[in-house]
Structure 1
Amino acid sequence: MFYLPDRDEMQEIDRRTIKERGIPGILLMERAAISILEEINARKDTVLPARVKCLIVVEGGNNGGDGLALARLLAQQGDQVEVCYISGLSKVSDSFAYQLDIVRNLGIQVTDEISQKEYDIIVDGIFGVGLKRDVAGIWKNVIEQMNNMPGYKIAVDLPSGVDATTGQVLGTSFRADLTVTFGLNKRGLVLHPGCDMAGQVVVRDIGFSDREVQDIAPEAYGYDLSDLARLPKRSDNSNKGTYGRAAVIAGSADMSGAAVFAAEAAYRTGTGLVKVYTHSLNRTVIGNRIPEAVLMTYSDEAEALKCAEDAVSWADVILVGPGLGRSGEAEELLRYVICEAEQPLVLDADALNIISQDLELLKKHRGEVTVTPHLGEMSRLTDIAIPDIKKNILRVCKDFAMEYNVIDVLKDSRTCVSRGGDIYINTSGNNGMSTAGAGDVLAGVITGLIATGSSPYEAAKLGVYIHGLAGDLAAERMGKNGMIARDIVESIPMVIKGVENEKL
């Protein structure tokens, strides 16, 4: 697990490290500059020449101080360096003033405007994580000029103009090839569009106190490969019942594929037994595609009710919604399950579309409920426009979870998961997963993890992460343009097998 602090959390970690641990800010600045220098040197003779011509653009805060310290280090190792100091702020930090005196004493050229020369590297040291207002005036002009220049572009800690908390662009933003960020990654560097502006992000340790990080415990976090150790363990002394019974209520008269993807994903995640409840017209398709699954079908509302009753009495976890449609049978199934089931529920796709017409229904649940809306479904559930959801995706996710006492898996290019407190931000996956059926696969993975023993909240977070890793493997095999949902399903066992081989 890795933390993803917002603006205030990161500034508090920095403050406590300096004030309470006694680590001088100037020392942190020096280590920041050394870390950028090392990243530059590691790229020489590949993307950069052995001797570089570098332009470092700074403003009068500590971010600019990092840039000035870097200028000194580059000059001392024989690289050509120029500094452009915008000087648009009425007050500068003490550390910046200290570094500026050193740079001038060393004879490094400092100007107040960008020359028309060509540079191998352009470094952005203008604004850092503290930026809250839109970039305008001289700063906007300079950043746009930097973006239009040829050369390899590096951002110090965060591209100037990116909101460290939301990832939104504040007016305009520096567009980096590489961002060297310090201590911890930042929310704004993983959320869109901030991550697009950041390019490759490298996190470097510069000496922030681990104790302060743990004490503050930022609200948002992500998973890495070590978190696959959270997968439920299997036992030699077991049978299919040991790994749970998952009910998948999915598919409709004109849609069978969603049920297939969800059920197979649950099996591929490790579920012992999956039972599919679907329209009778899907019997042949599902029987052929997933012969391992048990089937129960319906053709009218009375039979649909019997299916719902059977699922509630039989299953350890129930998934409702993929390809279900909005028929009378679908509504009968959903209402019964929500009102009567005490086991965990996963509500996806058409289940959410039905609920959007009667949100009070969602408040009637008796067991733990996980909802998995994409942006369109979330918009229907909240009456918030999609662009506004994207700008505040973490807040929308958290607020909905809190209001309805559910686990909210809000799907986007950076899917987030919350139950109203902390919030998980997913960083696995790729744009090849923007394909029909991928959401059905995710619902099946989450359901499968609950069946095999994960708590619903852990299953939601780990399920999103595994789903993304499976998508990454599928992209490696098939390419992002050509991959389909079936490729993601087939890649799930490879992700889990990798865990088994590493014995995490």
Structure 2
Amino acid sequence: MLQKKRGNSLTQKLYRADQVRLHEQDAAKALGVDMFSLMQRAGASVYQHCVSLFPNVDNYLVLVGIGHNAGDGYVAALAAANSGKNVTLCAVEPEREVSGDVAKAKAAWLASGAKVNAYSKDALDKADVVIDALLGTGINGVIRQEFATIIEEINHHSCPVVSIDVPSGLDANTGNTLGECVQATATVTFVGIKLGLTTGAGKQATGKLIFEDLGIGKVFAEYARSDASALDFKHFKGLAPRPVHSHKGTYGRLLCIGGNEGMSGAIRLSSEAALRTGTGLVKVFAHPESVRQISAGRPELMVSSEGLKEALQWATCIVIGPGLGQNQWSKDTFDTTMDYCQQHNKPIVIDADALNLKAVNTSFVALTDCVVTPHVGEAARLLNVSIEEIEANRFNFARQCAQRYDAVCVLKGAGSIVDNQSHSWVCRHGNPGMATAGMGDVLAGILGSLMSQGLSSEMACQYGVSIHAKAGDIVAQKYGQRGLLASDLFNTVRKLINE
């Protein structure tokens, strides 16, 4: 049995930008805090994080637009100037009138004797750190050229950038970039973490994600309903200790199906990952030409090219797809497995080539306990849309995939998403070094192993995705991202599953 730790922080919850804009006012009012005070808290926190991140720099460039985000920028600029920093503040439209709390913040900046300058490349060249307050969460169309030009120059400069709330040019709900988008070193976001900061291009643009609830987070969470959460390995207690009076059959019988001729490595990675995650018995069904290669290096695996129906009956959980291929042997194996699982209620993980076969299977019937694990290309085929459409709204298409196939969907990539048709979880861990052959095969084996040991498909996906990505981070931190192999994760996965 697996349980999540109690008392998880509020930062687990993720919100749409409109939810934050609407309910932060309700929360602030309930606590007797006016919105200008909240703006002052936000701007001051941005400056304090700049000091923490870059303690030995003196020259600040603050870039502001005209929206609410600009007010936070004026406050941050004044906090930096009052601390003795050399601050240059540039506005996209210096002479344009602003209103409300933004006007108050601008007036306080001007009252200090400071100026609002027009942007210049020279100001960027003199800066040690840039505070990005150009655009906030309200934009949802392609940004104007005057903003795009500045953002492009920022991104081509070596100066570190701290974005306020969201990187300018990012859709805060989807993580899609709206033309040019600031590639921040760090982003300080307020009150509730926005969905778009956690996955896809948004995760890349955000850099280090820093959350500040501005003292209203607990009350805000009472007003705003969240249907998405962040996944962090530290939130899990782990599996219960094994009883002394147990045997290998107590911990599941997993059947891994794949390994077509010339593609034995993928199913070998999946099956060994399952062993390292704790499955008691792992059997592999593979093409006759692949049996020797799979079994040679890992004698603990039972490998066969015959008796698929008997193996399906034997298994408590099935993984199908790694190295399966798409020839006639693949199709016959896939059809036999799907027919069996439609008649018998067994957990199954459908991965890799099995997803491609599923995408063209017009006689598809939903399975009772199913996990699908597409990357963006496979998701595009499953849903008959383009890869660009998937990447532009990963949350939406993870949900569509889960609903279309009546499954738990794991949409892989930067900020992998687990969706159970009604709630989404986004993985905080993972790194670019994991973009290498075989990583998905290892994940499939981990998920199948957890399901074979009795975890629900939903919990197995949450825990398994977290273990897989956390293991990748640990190995990358120790040895570097370049050259990271999928099989490098095995020992670390074993360590994490025992924590």
Question: With structure 2 as the length reference, what TM-score do the two structures score?
Answer: 0.90
Does residue 217 of structure 2 align to residue 209 of structure 1? yes
Cα pair 2:200 2:394 within 8 Å, conserved: no
1:115-154 paired onto structure 2 within 5 Å: 116-117=122-123, 118-147=126-155, 151-154=159-162
Any unmatched runs of 5+ in structure 2?
1-7
Distance 1:68 1:276 in 2: 62
Cα pair 2:175 2:393 within 8 Å, conserved: no
Does residue 401 of structure 2 align to residue 360 of structure 1? no
Cα pair 1:119 1:150 within 8 Å, conserved: no
Q: CA deviation at 1:356?
A: 1.9
Aligned match of 1:3: 13
* Residues paired across the two proteins, number: 484
CA displacement 1:134-155 (0-9 Å, x = unmatched): 2114333444454456643221
Aligned match of 1:495: 496
Distance 1:244 1:44 in 2: 51
Q: Counterpart of 1:373 in 2: which secondary structure?
A: coil
Q: Counterpart of 2:178 in 1: which secondary structure?
A: coil
CA 1:41–1:450 in 2, change beyond 3 Å: closer, same or farther?
same
CA 1:233–1:88 in 2, change beyond 3 Å: closer, same or farther?
farther
Q: Counterpart of 2:170 in 1: which secondary structure?
A: coil
Cα pair 1:262 1:443 within 8 Å, conserved: yes
Aligned match of 2:46: 36
Aligned match of 1:84: 90
Which residue identity is paired with 2:208? Q
Aligned match of 2:414: 413
Distance 2:217 2:102 in 1: 22
Aligned match of 1:340: 343
1:353-502 paired onto structure 2 within 5 Å: 353-361=356-364, 363-365=365-367, 367-497=368-498, 499=499
CA 1:152–1:392 in 2, change beyond 3 Å: closer, same or farther?
closer
CA 1:238–1:23 in 2, change beyond 3 Å: closer, same or farther?
farther
Aligned match of 1:320: 320
Q: CA deviation at 1:368?
A: 0.7
CA displacement 1:359-393 (0-9 Å, x = unmatched): 432x242x211111222222222221212221122
Distance 2:151 2:325 in 1: 50
Cα pair 1:432 1:481 within 8 Å, conserved: yes
Q: Counterpart of 1:262 in 2: which secondary structure?
A: helix
Aligned match of 2:114: 108
Which residue identity is paired with 1:496? I
Q: CA deviation at 1:163?
A: 0.9
CA displacement 1:332-353 (0-9 Å, x = unmatched): 3322332223111111122222
Q: Counterpart of 1:98 in 2: which secondary structure?
A: helix
Cα pair 1:6 1:165 within 8 Å, conserved: yes
Any unmatched runs of 5+ in structure 1?
299-305, 500-504
Identity %, equivalent residues: 31
1:178 corresponds, among 179, 186, 190, to: 186
2:104 corresponds, among 89, 93, 98, to: 98
Which residue identity is paired with 1:37? Y
Distance 1:314 1:27 in 2: 64
Distance 1:138 1:364 in 2: 50
Cα pair 2:233 2:466 within 8 Å, conserved: no
Q: Counterpart of 1:56 in 2: which secondary structure?
A: strand
Higher relative CO (Cα under 8 Å, sequence separation at least 6) belongs to 2
Distance 1:335 1:232 in 2: 37
Aligned match of 1:67: 73
Distance 1:428 1:449 in 2: 19
CA displacement 1:233-264 (0-9 Å, x = unmatched): 53334322221111112212332222211111
More deviation in 272-281 or 16-25?
A: 16-25
Aligned match of 1:13: 23
Q: Counterpart of 1:251 in 2: which secondary structure?
A: coil
CA 1:57–1:295 in 2, change beyond 3 Å: closer, same or farther?
closer
More deviation in 172-181 or 84-93?
A: 84-93
Which residue identity is paired with 1:188? G
More deviation in 460-469 or 486-495?
A: 486-495
Cα pair 2:191 2:217 within 8 Å, conserved: no
Q: CA deviation at 1:214?
A: 4.7
Q: Counterpart of 2:42 in 1: which secondary structure?
A: helix
Aligned match of 1:301: none
Cα pair 2:238 2:497 within 8 Å, conserved: no
More deviation in 169-178 or 312-321?
A: 169-178
1:169 corresponds, among 177, 180, 192, to: 177
More deviation in 393-402 or 89-98?
A: 89-98
CA 1:283–1:209 in 2, change beyond 3 Å: closer, same or farther?
closer
CA displacement 1:282-326 (0-9 Å, x = unmatched): 33333322222233322xxxxxxx41x223322211111211223
CA 1:111–1:380 in 2, change beyond 3 Å: closer, same or farther?
closer
Q: Counterpart of 1:436 in 2: which secondary structure?
A: coil
Q: Counterpart of 2:200 in 1: which secondary structure?
A: coil
Query: Once superposed, what is the RMSD of the aligned Cα atoms?
Result: 2.4
1:258-277 paired onto structure 2 within 5 Å: 258-277=266-285
Aligned match of 1:502: none
Distance 2:450 2:231 in 1: 16
Which residue identity is paired with 1:184? G
Distance 1:100 1:364 in 2: 58
Which residue identity is paired with 2:421? G
1:279-290 paired onto structure 2 within 5 Å: 279-290=287-298
Aligned match of 2:331: 331
Distance 2:258 2:201 in 1: 34
Distance 1:416 1:89 in 2: 44
Cα pair 1:260 1:289 within 8 Å, conserved: no
CA 1:289–1:63 in 2, change beyond 3 Å: closer, same or farther?
same
Which residue identity is paired with 2:312? V
